[in-house]
Amino acid sequence: MNPVSQTFNPIATSRGADVIARCQSLARYSEDPAALRRTFLSPPMRECHNAITEWLKPLAVVPSIDGAGNLRAVYPAASPDAPRLLIGSHLDTVPNAGAFDGPLGILLAVALLEQLEGQRLPFAIELVAFSEEEGIRFATPFIGSCALVGNYDEEFLNRRDGNGISIRQAIQNFGLDPAQLPAAQMSEDVLAYLEFHIEQGPVLENLNLPLAAVEAIVGQSRLAITFIGHSNHAGTTPMNARRDALAAAAEWMVAVESEASRIAGLVATVGSIQAHPGATNVIPGEVRLTLDVRHKSDQIRAQSVQRLSTMAQHIAAKRALSANFATFLNQPAVAMDPFLISQIELAIRAAGCPPHRMPSGAGHDAMILASRVPAAMIFVRSPGGISHDPTESVLLEDVACAIDCGSHLLKQLADSPEFLKRTPRG
């Protein structure tokens, strides 16, 4: 079976076209005139809120903005005291972004509410459009979802952007009250969190599949590495007398690539390198690098980081240099909820497509919500594996499949005693 050739009902296809058009419409709201950049509580965020509010009006659902700037909207259940299912994603973007990373998940949620056509389920559905996930403005990701789980403190709120504005001030400048942040925490009756998101990679395209159930969000280690040698004249210092920090760094970078290539599922990236003093005719005496290592197994990731650290020390020692390490992120892997994963696979199959499980190599709001409630994600194919770029795209048939899958999933959960009897968080 070729999923690309699947025929979906005309309503799902029409709603899929609406989702794509709405994502492209939100992409017009940007801080940059010639490219998409929308950071935490920047003015374009308000324009997004207004547009989503208009799209929700026919559903008689009135959104509100919480103390962290998240847009929240509740589609009521069959009874007023019913628990709720959260569905959401983020509105902020990276610089020079595409239209679908984040907004696709929000607008698929809107489409699923439209698909219900007024039907009430045994649980309410709360749509959440998170104000921040990417960590661009404050070098602090997940501001929006951290507010829902109460994971913030005074130090967090005092972090400042490049213009010296704190998170607290940004909230105030948007017309919100930081004192209302505690009220942004999700209610006690939440059963689960669900997030649709583009894959941001090539796996589904290589498999020719439209959707996947995310089994885990990989753990991440981020480190700063410094090789320290000795600067000297590039023309008068013999090769056997050099203590070249950049040559050591280059040797180690090849070792990083080799380590990641030999271990299935491991990715390792040296993303930044700075050589000092940085002159053409001076041997580099100090080189600073960053290392990003990810894997769904925390044990495998930790072992690789240790091996790479040891390799750096050995390379430095044989070159009469020193190597120093500092860890600035150690994020454990986050498993998605097994029951929800199995339900998503059933829903993908019901939508006429083969189910597939895969890890997410990128972080998502679901990893924050998973600390408090069962969480799950559905990936939608990224043509070309492209994301964080203006050419980021989705296929209409994949979005239609996602809507069909989501509709089946809501029905399955509504009919599931196991899901409905779950004890909401306390």
Over residues 206-224, the pLDDT tens digits come to 999 999 999 999 999 999 9
Place of tokens 């070309």: 384
Q: Write the pLDDT tens digit of every residue in 407-426.
A: 999 999 999 999 998 766 54
Rounded to whole angstroms, the Cα distance separating 102 from 99 reads 8
12 pLDDT tier (thresholds 50, 70, 90): confident
User: What percent of the chain is modeled with pLDDT above 70?
Assistant: 97
What is the torsional sign of CA 46, 50, 56, 61?
positive
pLDDT digits (tens, 9 = 90+) for 167-214: 999 999 999 999 999 999 999 999 999 999 999 999 999 999 999 999
Residue ranges, CATH 3.30.70.360, the chain: 219-331
CA 195, CA 361: separation in Å to the nearest integer?
A: 15
Write down the architecture of domain 3-218+334-420 according to CATH. Answer: 3-Layer(aba) Sandwich (3.40)
Mean pLDDT of 316-335: 94
Q: Tens digits of per-residue pLDDT, 278-304?
A: 999 999 999 999 999 999 999 999 999
Residue with tokens 């090539």: 202
Architecture of domain 219-331: 2-Layer Sandwich (3.30)
Residue 328 pLDDT class (50, 70, 90 cuts): confident
Report residue 202: phi and psi, to 5°.
Answer: -100, 0
pLDDT at 5: 46
Using alpha carbons only, what angle is made at residue 332 by residues 302 and 71, rounded to the nearest 5 degrees? 155
Model confidence at 15, pLDDT cuts 50, 70, 90, reads: very high
Token pair belonging to 23:
């994502």
